[in-house]
């Protein structure tokens, strides 16, 4: 998101990423946010720190038996599905780029996007940012959702219309949201979602584990090595020409 991919391609610069190293870290954060949201972990913690004992105020919900809708079933979406099922959740998903074999591998049912919105108790976003996904959580799609739905976003901030979600959170249509990503990072002080009592917000921690940082660094180094020594390109995200091996 921080590189002009077209400009790089025009200059013959191959842009590669290292997508595998942070998969587990991002998936685990998604589950952590989900649990924090349904069990009111952060407001309960703050309440106790302030000297109160508000057990009745923070009655939560279980993940067991809930329907989790996964928008995007790439590496992270698949990892979330497997972990959510360990909590007894039913997983449904939408990803137009994945075939039925991918859904079968993680015991997840493919459904059209509108059906996913209508059936899910919790919706977790794992889609890339493009013309078809920007603002996909908006007033119209929120209206399709169950009353009391919860929304998790560890993918891209631009997937959500912040003003529409804020309105739905204030009205109670959406019971809660957990966000790790924002359209502008860091988000502005007047961001409409941060600070709402039913929002959990973290500063883009998806890949922020010691293990993920090592794994991503190693993968990036291997990709550069293979590029320079053998002209091999892996995980390219733009259309630059394939280089010639060194000395060719």
> What residues are labeled active site?
156, 185, 204
Answer yes or no: are the C-beta atoms of 171 and 145 closer than 8 Å: no
Q: Both ends of the chain: CA-CA distance in Å? A: 33
Nearest to 128 by CA among 72, 83, 176: 72
Return the number of other C-beta atoms located less than 10 Å from residue 248's C-beta: 6
Q: Is the peptide bond before 90 cis (omega within 30 degrees of 0)?
A: no
Cα-Cα-Cα-Cα dihedral of 69, 75, 80, 83, to 10°? 140
In sequence order, the 6+-apart residues with CB closer than 8 A to the CB of 125 are 71, 72, 137, 151, 152, 153, 154, 155, 156, 159, 160
| CA atoms of 36 and 245, how far apart (whole Å) | 50
- 3 state DSSP class of 179: strand
């Amino acid at each position: 998101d921080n590189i002009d991919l077209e400009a790089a391609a025009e200059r013959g610069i191959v842009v590669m990423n290292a997508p595998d190293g942070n998969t587990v870290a991002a998936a685990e954060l998604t589950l952590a946010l989900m649990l924090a949201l349904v069990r009111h972990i952060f407001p309960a913690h703050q309440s106790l720190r302030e000297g109160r004992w508000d057990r009745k105020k923070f009655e939560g919900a279980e993940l067991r038996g809930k329907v989790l809708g996964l928008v995007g079933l790439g590496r992270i979406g698949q990892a979330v599905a497997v972990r959510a099922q360990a909590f007894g959740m039913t997983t449904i998903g939408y990803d137009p780029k994945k075939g039925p074999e991918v859904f079968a591998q993680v015991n997840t049912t493919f459904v059209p996007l509108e059906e996913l919105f209508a059936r899910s108790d919790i919706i977790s976003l794992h889609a890339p940012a493009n013309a078809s996904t920007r603002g996909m959580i908006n007033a119209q799609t929120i209206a399709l959702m169950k009353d009391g739905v919860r929304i998790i976003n560890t993918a891209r901030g631009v997937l959500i219309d912040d003003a529409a979600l804020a309105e739905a959170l204030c009205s109670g249509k959406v019971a809660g949201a957990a966000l790790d990503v924002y359209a502008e990072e860091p988000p502005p002080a007047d961001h409409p979602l941060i600070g709402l009592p039913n929002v959990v917000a973290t500063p883009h921690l998806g890949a922020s584990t010691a293990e993920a940082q090592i794994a991503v660094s190693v993968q990036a180094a291997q990709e550069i090595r293979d590029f320079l020594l053998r002209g091999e390109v892996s995980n390219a995200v733009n259309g630059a020409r394939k280089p010639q091996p060194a000395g060719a």
